[in-house]
Amino acid sequence: MKVFDKVRFKKLRLWIFWPYCIVFIFCPPTRGLYLQYGIPLIVLGLVIRLWASGYIEKSRKLAICGPYAFVRNPLYVGNFLLVAGFTFLAYNPFLLSYYIGAFWFLYYFTIKKEEGVLLEKFGNEFRQYKKEVPAFIFRLAPYRLAEKKKFNFSLSVKNGEWIRIYGVLILLAMIYFRDEFAIAKHPVGARHVVLMAITLILIAGVLWNIKIRRALDRKEAHASHS
């Protein structure tokens, strides 16, 4: 039943996301003012996600340190800022309104469901944490029971955060190519060739990281059954 719910949620997320993608593709080229807001939001979202991914040990331990000492769902906060940044680049008020509504609809119920699982697994520890730390707004002071723990870079890599960073860089390059060639119709220059080469390297990096992650997952699965 849990697997069915997970698959159904993924399909719902895709159905909601497709209209966003279609409108985004046909939006006009990015403009200076919106570029100034969009890129910082994208970078901030990536930084928060990267920070959080170095502390979370999914389904093993309740994460209450690092960014989790300030907000219960830093990964979702990072997601919101990240896609909001791309939405600003699109220069489309309708798309921004659609995104905010869709995000709230999807993640409100997702967070509620996850909280039920965490409450069942960690009991009073999570109940106390939830009482003191907001779900989506950063508090000023860290959670009083937060353990002092350093950022774990290898854990961040294991959680696949670098794949997302590569993906964002590739998407930004694709937007640039769209604006340069399909809309502005500029001729191909040296800077375009260099950026295309970097994009191909990033794509290769994504594929390589996915391959490594799958190999590690198979290794862990084999070890757990041994």
pLDDT in tens, 57-78: 876 789 999 999 999 999 999 9
The pLDDT of residue 1: 42
As a whole number of angstroms, the distance between CA 150 and CA 74 comes to 17
Q: Which residue has the higher pLDDT, 26 or 136?
A: 136
As a whole number of angstroms, the distance between CA 82 and CA 45 comes to 4
The pLDDT of residue 223: 59
The pLDDT of residue 4: 42
Structure tokens at 19: 């209209």
As a whole number of angstroms, the distance between CA 119 and CA 116 comes to 5
- What Cα–Cα distance (Å) separates residue 195 from each residue in 42, 86, 164, 179? 19, 19, 19, 14
Residues 6+ apart with CB under 8 A from 169: 199, 202
* Angle of helix 2-25 versus helix 93-122 axis, rounded to 10: 160
Mean pLDDT of 104-127: 89
Q: Examine the pLDDT at 87 and tell me if it is beyond 50.
A: yes
Q: Torsions phi, psi of 146, nearest 5? A: -65, 135
Rg (CA), the chain: 20
3-state helix, strand, coil in the chain (%, to 5): 75, 0, 25
Tell me the pLDDT of the chain averaged across its residues.
84
Calculate ∠ Cα 158-171-16, nearest 5°. 85
As a whole number of angstroms, the distance between CA 210 and CA 213 comes to 5
DSSP single-letter state for residue 133 = S
Q: Examine the pLDDT at 42 and tell me if it is beyond 90.
A: yes
SS3 at position 171: helix
As a whole number of angstroms, the distance between CA 119 and CA 136 comes to 18
The pLDDT of residue 7: 46
Q: Examine the pLDDT at 135 and tell me if it is beyond 80.
A: yes
pTM, entire model: 0.83
Express each pLDDT in 158-183 by its tens digit: 888 888 888 898 889 888 888 888 76
Q: Examine the pLDDT at 134 and tell me if it is beyond 90.
A: yes
